[in-house]
Amino acid sequence: MEAVEAVFREERGRLLAALARRFGDLDLAEEVTSEAIEAALVHWPVEGVPPKPGAWLMTTARRRAVDRLRRDTAYAARLALLHAEAERAAPPAAPGEDSGEFPDERLQLFFTCAHPALAAEDRGALILRCLAGLSTPEVARAYLVPDATMSKRIVRAKRKIREARIPFRVPDAGELPERLPGVLQALYSIFTEGYAATAGPALQRYDVAEEAIRLARILRRLLPGEREVAGLLALMLLVHARRDARVGPGGELVLLADQERGRWDRAMIEEGLPLVREALTGGPPGPYGVQAAIAALHAEAADAAATDWPQIVALYDVLLALSPSPVAALGRAAALAMRDGPAAGLAALDELAGEPRLRDYHPYPMARADLLERLGRHAEAAEAYRAALALARTAPERDHLRHRLSRVEPAPGRGLEGT
């Protein structure tokens, strides 16, 4: 069964992208992709995984699509019209030019979904849901919004593609810079879901994180002159290099300060560090380049105490000027606590208390709890740990928070003076 699931992970996004481009309708592509996978779940356990599983899934999905269009002639006519208009709108291909310019069809659809006609908050959501195969709750978590809000965004984005008749095609060179930020944001959101899973028994989803890195490498080959592409790839590599050290022998969460740095992936770090220099050279830095520089300072430090915390705080200041966000402000507060002490970090965290996007984000109360514990304010720390525990959705995070709570919560019949 593991082999079957691996095939689905590898083929689903590619299949959906190819079908969307072929039929010009994302809902139809999603529907028949799901039906093809369901058919595989019936046949493959009995007959075995075929030699070319992608081709099997594509053939099955195409047949389902044709059956659907035969049953609904009005729908078929509308799709035919949209396809004809898209073909007329597409720029003529140069002699010998083909889709090989984009090494993976999924990236064609990435750029289509990042079309400027779509609302900015809808672009990445659609990419995550359709191409990365994340569930709507997972996408909602990536964007720190309720599930219902995200569901509406995804439906709205699909409707806009249909109504605006956005073609499923490779954008020309002049369109790429406008669409690139949306693609980078989506790739980073995919990676974030892999680095810190939304829910479930495991802290990380290695396959999701590695898929984001793979796509970022392809994008880097496609756009070698884009420094923010280099910055994003560097950031992913330097953060993912810690993956093995982030969990203990029993799958428990291990925080950055406590990680055994000898377990960090040196090959990934060595690949990422030159990309950081590239991202920061030749002009003002972008947000991904700055975040990569922060990750590089962690990668180069022998331990938490040897980390250049003043430089990290300064880089967070640059990042917040370039791209203000509550998550970046949370990171700065944590770095400030390392530079100036827990009281300074707590004061910075308290300034974010009214930020609605952090209301359901468990790292915020978790960070407050840690600093309150370090300051000896155990009753307040216990309250913050309980708030974080109520929001955490993976088993390792909940176990970690229960352990931390037990250190500051008084045992029955014992006062806080005994803790």
pLDDT tens digit sequence for 397-410: 999 999 999 999 87
What is the value of pTM for the model shown? 0.77
Query: What's the pLDDT score for residue 391?
Result: 95
In tens, the pLDDT along 106-120 reads 777 778 787 888 887
Q: Is the pLDDT of residue 306 over 90?
A: yes
In tens, the pLDDT along 172-187 reads 777 777 778 888 988 8
The DSSP bridge partners found for residue 394 are 200
Q: Is the pLDDT of residue 330 over 90?
A: yes
Cβ neighbours around 393 below 10 Å, total: 13
- pLDDT band at residue 316 using 50, 70 and 90 as cut-offs: very high
State the residue for tokens 């750029």. Answer: 111
Q: Is the dihedral of CA 184, 205, 386, 373 positive or negative?
A: negative
Average pLDDT value for residue range 374-382: 97
Q: 114 exposed, middle or buried (CB, 10 Å; 0-12, 13-18, 19+)?
A: buried
User: Is 357 within 8 Å of 329 (Cβ atoms)?
Assistant: no
Q: Which of 138-142, 259-263, 283-287 has the lowest mean pLDDT?
A: 138-142
Structure tokens that stand for 22 in this block: 């072929």
Q: Is the pLDDT of residue 389 over 80?
A: yes
Query: What's the pLDDT score for residue 79?
Result: 59
HEC profile of the chain: CHHHHHHHHHHHHHHHHHHHHHHCCHHHHHHHHHHHHHHHHHHHHHHCCCCCHHHHHHHHHHHHHHHHHHHCHHHHHHHHHHHHHHHHHCCCCCCCCCHHHCCCHHHHHHHHHCCCCCCHHHHHHHHHHHCCCCCHHHHHHHCCCCHHHHHHHHHHHHHHHHHCCCCCCCCCCCCHHHHHHHHHHHHHHHHHHHHCCCCECCCCCHHHHHHHHHHHHHHHHHCCCCHHHHHHHHHHHHHHCCHHHHECCCCCECCHHHCCHHHCCHHHHHHHHHHHHHHCCCCCCCHHHHHHHHHHHHHHCCCCCCCCHHHHHHHHHHHHHHCCCHHHHHHHHHHHHHHHCHHHHHHHHHCCCCCHHHCCCCHHHHHHHHHHHHCCCHHHHHHHHHHHHHHCCEHHHHHHHHHHHHHHCCCCCCCHHHC
Q: Is the pLDDT of residue 412 over 80?
A: no
Query: What's the pLDDT score for residue 180?
Result: 86
**Distance separating alpha carbons of residues 95 and 194, to the nearest angstrom:** 40
- pLDDT band at residue 78 using 50, 70 and 90 as cut-offs: low
Average pLDDT value for residue range 33-49: 88
* Measured CA distances, 223 to 104, 165, 168, 220, 289 (Å): 14, 27, 20, 5, 15
**Distance separating alpha carbons of residues 326 and 328, to the nearest angstrom:** 5
Q: Is the pLDDT of residue 4 over 70?
A: no
In tens, the pLDDT along 218-272 reads 889 878 889 999 999 999 999 999 999 999 988 889 999 999 999 999 999 999 9
**Distance separating alpha carbons of residues 168 and 16, to the nearest angstrom:** 12
Query: What's the pLDDT score for residue 408?
Result: 95
Q: Is the pLDDT of residue 282 over 70?
A: yes
Q: Is the pLDDT of residue 310 over 70?
A: yes
Query: What's the pLDDT score for residue 2?
Result: 56
- Greater pLDDT, 332 or 179: 332
Average pLDDT value for residue range 274-282: 96
Query: What's the pLDDT score for residue 365?
Result: 98
Overall size of the chain counted in residues:
419
Torsion angle, alpha carbons of 216, 62, 133, 17, to 10: 30
